[in-house]
Structure 1
Amino acid sequence: MTAPQRFILIDDNEADNVYHEIMIRRAGFSGEVLVFESGIEALDFLKADALAIPTCIYLDINMPLMDGFEFALEATPLLAGKPTVVLVMLTSSGSPKDRQRVDEIPVIQGFVTKPLVADTVRTMLQRD
Protein backbone atom coordinates (compact mmCIF):
# COMPACT_ATOMS: atom_id res chain seq x y z
CA MET A 1 0.00 0.00 0.00
CA THR A 2 1.12 3.51 -0.68
CA ALA A 3 1.03 6.18 1.99
CA PRO A 4 -2.51 6.92 3.16
CA GLN A 5 -4.32 9.91 1.74
CA ARG A 6 -7.13 9.45 4.25
CA PHE A 7 -7.43 8.24 7.84
CA ILE A 8 -10.58 6.79 9.37
CA LEU A 9 -10.89 6.64 13.15
CA ILE A 10 -13.49 4.24 14.56
CA ASP A 11 -13.83 4.63 18.32
CA ASP A 12 -16.78 5.32 20.62
CA ASN A 13 -14.62 7.58 22.81
CA GLU A 14 -14.84 11.17 21.55
CA ALA A 15 -11.81 12.32 23.56
CA ASP A 16 -9.67 9.55 22.05
CA ASN A 17 -10.82 10.51 18.56
CA VAL A 18 -9.91 14.17 19.13
CA TYR A 19 -6.50 13.25 20.54
CA HIS A 20 -5.76 10.75 17.77
CA GLU A 21 -6.68 13.26 15.08
CA ILE A 22 -4.28 15.73 16.71
CA MET A 23 -1.51 13.10 16.55
CA ILE A 24 -2.29 12.41 12.88
CA ARG A 25 -2.00 16.14 12.15
CA ARG A 26 1.19 16.45 14.24
CA ALA A 27 2.71 13.71 12.12
CA GLY A 28 2.35 16.07 9.17
CA PHE A 29 -0.81 14.68 7.58
CA SER A 30 -3.01 17.35 6.00
CA GLY A 31 -5.54 15.13 4.22
CA GLU A 32 -8.99 13.87 5.14
CA VAL A 33 -9.64 12.41 8.59
CA LEU A 34 -13.05 10.82 9.09
CA VAL A 35 -14.31 9.91 12.54
CA PHE A 36 -17.00 7.37 13.38
CA GLU A 37 -18.13 6.69 16.93
CA SER A 38 -19.70 3.36 16.01
CA GLY A 39 -18.66 0.41 13.93
CA ILE A 40 -22.12 0.31 12.37
CA GLU A 41 -21.80 3.87 11.03
CA ALA A 42 -18.31 3.15 9.73
CA LEU A 43 -19.45 -0.04 8.04
CA ASP A 44 -22.25 1.86 6.30
CA PHE A 45 -19.69 4.38 5.07
CA LEU A 46 -17.38 1.65 3.74
CA LYS A 47 -20.26 -0.01 1.90
CA ALA A 48 -20.97 3.27 0.08
CA ASP A 49 -17.33 4.25 -0.58
CA ALA A 50 -15.34 2.94 -3.56
CA LEU A 51 -12.28 2.52 -1.29
CA ALA A 52 -10.06 3.78 -4.10
CA ILE A 53 -8.26 6.37 -1.95
CA PRO A 54 -5.32 4.95 0.02
CA THR A 55 -6.79 4.76 3.52
CA CYS A 56 -5.61 3.79 6.98
CA ILE A 57 -8.37 2.72 9.35
CA TYR A 58 -7.62 2.82 13.06
CA LEU A 59 -10.18 0.66 14.86
CA ASP A 60 -10.90 0.35 18.58
CA ILE A 61 -11.74 -3.08 20.02
CA ASN A 62 -14.09 -2.21 22.88
CA MET A 63 -17.19 -0.48 21.55
CA PRO A 64 -20.89 -1.01 22.24
CA LEU A 65 -23.24 -2.68 19.73
CA MET A 66 -20.41 -3.80 17.43
CA ASP A 67 -16.90 -4.30 18.79
CA GLY A 68 -13.79 -3.97 16.68
CA PHE A 69 -13.55 -7.69 15.97
CA GLU A 70 -17.15 -7.84 14.79
CA PHE A 71 -16.49 -4.81 12.60
CA ALA A 72 -13.40 -6.42 11.08
CA LEU A 73 -15.28 -9.61 10.27
CA GLU A 74 -18.20 -7.68 8.74
CA ALA A 75 -15.80 -5.47 6.77
CA THR A 76 -13.68 -8.36 5.46
CA PRO A 77 -15.64 -8.81 2.20
CA LEU A 78 -15.42 -5.06 1.59
CA LEU A 79 -11.69 -4.80 2.32
CA ALA A 80 -10.42 -8.11 0.93
CA GLY A 81 -8.43 -7.52 -2.22
CA LYS A 82 -8.25 -3.75 -1.55
CA PRO A 83 -4.53 -2.96 -1.35
CA THR A 84 -5.44 0.71 -0.89
CA VAL A 85 -6.80 0.08 2.62
CA VAL A 86 -4.91 -0.84 5.80
CA LEU A 87 -6.90 -1.78 8.91
CA VAL A 88 -5.05 -1.40 12.21
CA MET A 89 -6.46 -2.23 15.63
CA LEU A 90 -5.90 0.77 17.92
CA THR A 91 -6.79 -0.20 21.46
CA SER A 92 -6.08 0.25 25.13
CA SER A 93 -6.15 -3.53 25.49
CA GLY A 94 -2.85 -5.23 26.09
CA SER A 95 -4.52 -8.61 26.37
CA PRO A 96 -2.61 -11.48 24.76
CA LYS A 97 -5.99 -12.95 23.75
CA ASP A 98 -6.83 -9.76 21.82
CA ARG A 99 -3.43 -9.81 20.09
CA GLN A 100 -3.95 -13.46 19.16
CA ARG A 101 -7.42 -12.74 17.82
CA VAL A 102 -6.01 -9.91 15.68
CA ASP A 103 -3.58 -12.41 14.17
CA GLU A 104 -6.50 -14.70 13.32
CA ILE A 105 -8.35 -12.07 11.25
CA PRO A 106 -6.35 -11.53 8.04
CA VAL A 107 -7.93 -8.18 7.16
CA ILE A 108 -6.41 -6.63 10.33
CA GLN A 109 -2.86 -5.66 9.43
CA GLY A 110 -1.58 -4.26 12.70
CA PHE A 111 -2.02 -3.79 16.44
CA VAL A 112 -1.24 -0.47 18.13
CA THR A 113 -1.73 0.25 21.82
CA LYS A 114 -3.36 3.58 22.70
CA PRO A 115 -2.57 6.34 22.72
CA LEU A 116 -1.64 6.79 19.09
CA VAL A 117 1.57 8.80 18.79
CA ALA A 118 2.83 10.92 15.92
CA ASP A 119 5.81 8.62 15.26
CA THR A 120 3.48 5.68 14.63
CA VAL A 121 1.52 7.78 12.15
CA ARG A 122 4.74 8.97 10.46
CA THR A 123 5.72 5.33 9.93
CA MET A 124 2.38 4.74 8.22
CA LEU A 125 2.84 7.88 6.10
CA GLN A 126 6.25 6.68 4.90
CA ARG A 127 4.86 3.53 3.30
CA ASP A 128 5.45 3.15 -0.40
Structure 2
Amino acid sequence: MNRLPRPERFILVDDNEADNVFHEIMIRRAGFTGDVLIFDNGLDALAFMRQDELRVPTCIFLDINMPMLDGFEVAIQAAPLLEGRETTVLVMLTSSGSPQDRERAAQIPVISGYVTKPLAAALVRDMMSA
Protein backbone atom coordinates (compact mmCIF):
# COMPACT_ATOMS: atom_id res chain seq x y z
CA MET A 1 0.00 0.00 0.00
CA ASN A 2 1.31 3.44 -0.90
CA ARG A 3 2.39 5.62 1.99
CA LEU A 4 1.22 9.12 2.57
CA PRO A 5 1.78 11.68 5.27
CA ARG A 6 0.08 10.67 8.53
CA PRO A 7 -3.65 10.89 7.73
CA GLU A 8 -5.47 13.81 9.27
CA ARG A 9 -8.77 12.66 7.84
CA PHE A 10 -10.41 9.37 6.86
CA ILE A 11 -13.28 9.12 4.41
CA LEU A 12 -15.49 6.03 4.35
CA VAL A 13 -17.52 5.45 1.20
CA ASP A 14 -19.87 2.51 1.73
CA ASP A 15 -23.63 2.03 1.48
CA ASN A 16 -23.62 -0.35 4.47
CA GLU A 17 -24.33 1.68 7.63
CA ALA A 18 -23.22 -1.10 9.98
CA ASP A 19 -19.86 -1.39 8.19
CA ASN A 20 -19.37 2.38 8.40
CA VAL A 21 -20.08 2.39 12.14
CA PHE A 22 -17.72 -0.55 12.74
CA HIS A 23 -14.96 0.91 10.57
CA GLU A 24 -15.16 4.28 12.31
CA ILE A 25 -14.83 2.44 15.64
CA MET A 26 -11.70 0.67 14.33
CA ILE A 27 -10.24 3.98 13.15
CA ARG A 28 -10.88 5.52 16.57
CA ARG A 29 -9.58 2.42 18.37
CA ALA A 30 -6.34 2.87 16.43
CA GLY A 31 -5.96 6.21 18.21
CA PHE A 32 -7.14 8.50 15.41
CA THR A 33 -8.77 11.69 16.72
CA GLY A 34 -9.25 13.64 13.47
CA ASP A 35 -12.19 13.85 11.11
CA VAL A 36 -13.94 10.73 9.83
CA LEU A 37 -16.34 11.57 7.02
CA ILE A 38 -18.89 9.02 5.86
CA PHE A 39 -20.63 8.90 2.51
CA ASP A 40 -23.22 6.21 1.81
CA ASN A 41 -22.85 6.50 -1.97
CA GLY A 42 -20.23 7.31 -4.55
CA LEU A 43 -22.04 10.31 -6.03
CA ASP A 44 -21.93 12.22 -2.73
CA ALA A 45 -18.29 11.24 -2.19
CA LEU A 46 -17.36 12.49 -5.67
CA ALA A 47 -19.24 15.75 -5.07
CA PHE A 48 -17.23 16.23 -1.87
CA MET A 49 -13.93 15.47 -3.64
CA ARG A 50 -14.79 18.00 -6.36
CA GLN A 51 -15.42 20.82 -3.89
CA ASP A 52 -12.69 19.96 -1.35
CA GLU A 53 -9.15 20.99 -2.19
CA LEU A 54 -7.81 17.67 -0.84
CA ARG A 55 -4.88 19.37 0.85
CA VAL A 56 -5.42 17.63 4.18
CA PRO A 57 -3.65 14.24 4.28
CA THR A 58 -6.58 11.91 3.67
CA CYS A 59 -7.19 8.18 3.39
CA ILE A 60 -10.30 7.25 1.43
CA PHE A 61 -11.67 3.76 2.05
CA LEU A 62 -13.95 2.84 -0.85
CA ASP A 63 -16.32 -0.13 -1.04
CA ILE A 64 -16.78 -1.92 -4.37
CA ASN A 65 -20.40 -3.05 -4.19
CA MET A 66 -22.65 0.01 -4.00
CA PRO A 67 -25.76 1.15 -5.85
CA MET A 68 -25.68 3.93 -8.48
CA LEU A 69 -21.88 3.85 -8.90
CA ASP A 70 -19.76 0.94 -7.78
CA GLY A 71 -16.36 1.56 -6.21
CA PHE A 72 -14.50 1.04 -9.48
CA GLU A 73 -16.64 3.67 -11.22
CA VAL A 74 -16.07 6.07 -8.31
CA ALA A 75 -12.30 5.51 -8.50
CA ILE A 76 -12.24 6.10 -12.26
CA GLN A 77 -14.27 9.31 -11.95
CA ALA A 78 -12.14 10.44 -8.98
CA ALA A 79 -8.87 9.82 -10.84
CA PRO A 80 -8.53 13.34 -12.31
CA LEU A 81 -9.19 14.79 -8.84
CA LEU A 82 -6.67 12.53 -7.08
CA GLU A 83 -3.81 12.09 -9.55
CA GLY A 84 -0.71 13.89 -8.39
CA ARG A 85 -2.14 14.54 -4.92
CA GLU A 86 0.45 13.00 -2.64
CA THR A 87 -1.67 13.87 0.39
CA THR A 88 -4.50 11.52 -0.58
CA VAL A 89 -4.58 7.75 -0.81
CA LEU A 90 -7.51 5.68 -2.10
CA VAL A 91 -7.89 2.15 -0.75
CA MET A 92 -10.56 -0.36 -1.73
CA LEU A 93 -12.18 -1.70 1.45
CA THR A 94 -14.49 -4.48 0.40
CA SER A 95 -16.00 -7.80 1.31
CA SER A 96 -14.89 -9.13 -2.07
CA GLY A 97 -11.95 -11.48 -1.94
CA SER A 98 -12.33 -12.09 -5.67
CA PRO A 99 -9.01 -12.28 -7.54
CA GLN A 100 -10.75 -10.55 -10.47
CA ASP A 101 -11.74 -7.58 -8.29
CA ARG A 102 -8.25 -7.40 -6.82
CA GLU A 103 -6.74 -7.44 -10.33
CA ARG A 104 -9.18 -4.82 -11.59
CA ALA A 105 -8.28 -2.56 -8.64
CA ALA A 106 -4.58 -3.00 -9.45
CA GLN A 107 -5.25 -1.73 -12.98
CA ILE A 108 -6.63 1.61 -11.75
CA PRO A 109 -3.62 3.81 -10.88
CA VAL A 110 -5.34 5.92 -8.20
CA ILE A 111 -6.19 2.82 -6.15
CA SER A 112 -3.18 2.27 -3.92
CA GLY A 113 -4.40 -0.63 -1.83
CA TYR A 114 -6.95 -3.41 -1.47
CA VAL A 115 -8.22 -4.46 1.95
CA THR A 116 -10.81 -7.13 2.66
CA LYS A 117 -13.40 -6.22 5.30
CA PRO A 118 -13.47 -5.87 8.18
CA LEU A 119 -11.00 -3.06 8.67
CA ALA A 120 -8.59 -3.78 11.52
CA ALA A 121 -7.34 -1.16 13.96
CA ALA A 122 -3.80 -2.52 13.45
CA LEU A 123 -3.89 -1.57 9.76
CA VAL A 124 -5.03 1.94 10.62
CA ARG A 125 -2.25 2.23 13.24
CA ASP A 126 0.24 1.13 10.58
CA MET A 127 -1.04 3.82 8.20
CA MET A 128 -0.79 6.44 10.93
CA SER A 129 2.80 5.52 11.76
CA ALA A 130 3.99 6.08 8.19
For the aligned pair, the TM-score class normalised by the smaller chain equals: over 0.9
Match of 1:53 in 2: 56
Question: Residue type matched to 2:92 in 1?
Answer: M
Note if 1:76 corresponds to 2:79. yes
Out of 111, 123, 126, which is 1:123 matched to? 126
Deviation at 1:49, TM superposition (A): 0.1
| TM-score, length of structure 2 as denominator length | 0.97
Deviation at 1:38, TM superposition (A): 0.2
Note if 1:3 corresponds to 2:6. yes
- Structure 1: which 5+ residue stretches go unaligned? none
Match of 2:39 in 1: 36
Note if 1:98 corresponds to 2:101. yes
CA distance in 1, matches of 2:41, 2:82: 18
CA distance in 1, matches of 2:116, 2:35: 23
Match of 1:86 in 2: 89
- Structure 2: which 5+ residue stretches go unaligned? none
CA distance in 1, matches of 2:21, 2:75: 22
CA distance in 2, matches of 1:104, 1:126: 27
Deviation at 1:51, TM superposition (A): 0.3
Deviation at 1:3, TM superposition (A): 0.7
Query: After the TM superposition, which parts of structure 1 deviate over 3 Å for at least 4 consecutive aligned residues?
Result: none
CA distance in 1, matches of 2:127, 2:34: 14
Note if 1:14 corresponds to 2:22. no
Give the number of equivalent residue pairs: 127
CA distance in 1, matches of 2:83, 2:129: 23
Identity among equivalent positions (%) equals: 65
| TM-score, length of structure 1 as denominator length | 0.99
Deviation at 1:64, TM superposition (A): 0.4
